[in-house]
Amino acid sequence: MAKRRPLLRALLELANAANGVRPLAREGYSTIPVFAFGWPTSEMSPLYLAGSVLDAVRRGLRGDFRSGQGRIALALTALTWGLLYLIHRRNVESQPHFEDPLREALGDEYPAIAEKAKPDRRRVVGVWPNELVRRRYVEKAGTIQYGPHGAVNQADIWRRSDLPRDGKAPVLLQVPGGAWSIGMRKPQAYPLLSHLADHGWICVSIDYRVSPRNTWPDHMVDVKRALAWIKEHIAEYGGDPDFVAITGGSAGGHLSALAALTPGDPQFQPGFEDSDTSVVAAVPIYGRYDWISAQGSGRREFLGFLQKFVVKKPILANREIYADASPSYRLRADAPPFFILHGQDDSIIPVPEGREFAEALREVSTSPVVYAEIPHAQHAFDFYYGSPRAHYTAQAVEEFLYWVQAGRKVAD
């Protein structure tokens, strides 16, 4: 029989909970395991708490807590439960940090303006497990080929089956994250995609070519090609090619921001330079916006990763490539409206990245720039269905995009 070590187990559980309260590391490669353990704890704390309590009951019945060490372990486990409850309460109470920035940037009347743009076809069906919700909205014929590169150029079209094919539903392109080396559309942004699909949107979620097999700017070219496909074909599915917004998290945040700031840029549209790749709004979430600066937490490691795996060229001799790939270096007065979200406790992409990009864009753009900084939120805070932050993200993005749509209707 394996030797029971209740004290060691309790200490590990406590450390994991503490990491969920506040990341235990913010420098170097240690941030990767800190995120890997911290994200599930910070967004799925009720499940962790329920599992820990049930397991403690099981271990108590077999006598794990009868010794002196066992009683200390039980006390530490109870402290872990307190931290998990704190994490959940902070998550639940974070809604104002999504809503207040919208009110500050768009005005107190923004909810009423957004409400006028919302159609009567909205509905809410509740929470579904990830793959079940995808099957609810993505028909077999709704997985399409948008580019020439096989399976990595496929996309899912999320739409309600009762949407009219001759309608003009608003459209959102979702660009997945994954450090420019994964880029899988499944199961990223499902809470947002299902929320908008419920409310009558058409959402397009793509795969794209990734590194190290592919080299920058292949990733961006595919995003642009997806936008071109949407403009040409989305009306066949009931979408409005004149109202296409873009979003993405992490690497997808970078790609969506860059796409919004470079409409028609020929270096990212080889062979389809004349295609319309403009968007009406951008919602980058916890993205990387600067591929140049080496100042700040984790920046040197990040630049080393780009040089070795993504761009595959040294930055000193190829600075223009890195600058052209940086949304922070592509700011423009005619940028579309932006809604930028970032978590304060992001251990993968530290929060100054989002904060500084939003400040710089505000100084240049004539369109609204909304910046929401979410206290205690880790990287990928919008990923999990059961997380209140994922729900608040979907609601806030919907309100922002309907506000943009209402403004365009007035302008027309």
The tokens of 315 are what?
A: 């930055």
Q: What residue ranges in 176-326 does DSSP mark as E strands?
A: 202-206, 239-249, 281-285
Q: Residue 180, class by beta-carbon neighbours within 10 Å (0-12 exposed, 13-18 middle, 19+ buried)?
A: buried
Name the pairing type of β-strands 202-206 and 154-158. Answer: antiparallel
Q: Where are the alpha helices (DSSP H) in 289-387?
A: 299-305, 319-324, 352-364
- Spatial CA neighbour of 174 closest among 152, 195, 189: 189
- Name the catalytic one among 42, 94, 194, 250: 250
- Spatial CA neighbour of 307 closest among 157, 201, 180, 395: 180
**195 is a catalytic site residue:** no
Torsion of CA 72, 73, 75, 80, to 10 degrees: 150
**290 is a catalytic site residue:** no
Q: Please answer whether residues 337 and 402 qualify as being in contact, where contact means their C-beta atoms are separated by less than 8 angstroms.
A: no
- Name the catalytic one among 379, 382, 387, 391: 379
Phi, psi of 52 (to 5 degrees): -65, -40
Three-state DSSP class for 356?
Answer: helix
DSSP string covering 39-84: HHHHHSHHHHHHHHHHHHHHHHHTTTTSSHHHHHHHHHHHHHHHHH
How far apart CA 185 and CA 201 sit, in angstroms, is 18
**346 is a catalytic site residue:** yes
- Spatial CA neighbour of 41 closest among 387, 353, 394, 400: 387
How far apart CA 123 and CA 218 sit, in angstroms, is 38
How far apart CA 255 and CA 265 sit, in angstroms, is 14
Q: Please answer whether residues 213 and 245 qualify as being in contact, where contact means their C-beta atoms are separated by less than 8 angstroms.
A: no
The tokens of 162 are what?
A: 């009762």
- Name the catalytic one among 222, 345, 346, 382: 346
Q: Residue 323, class by beta-carbon neighbours within 10 Å (0-12 exposed, 13-18 middle, 19+ buried)?
A: middle
Three-state DSSP class for 345?
Answer: coil
Q: Among all chains, which residue has been given the structure tokens 């419920």?
A: 198
Catalytic residues: 250, 346, 379
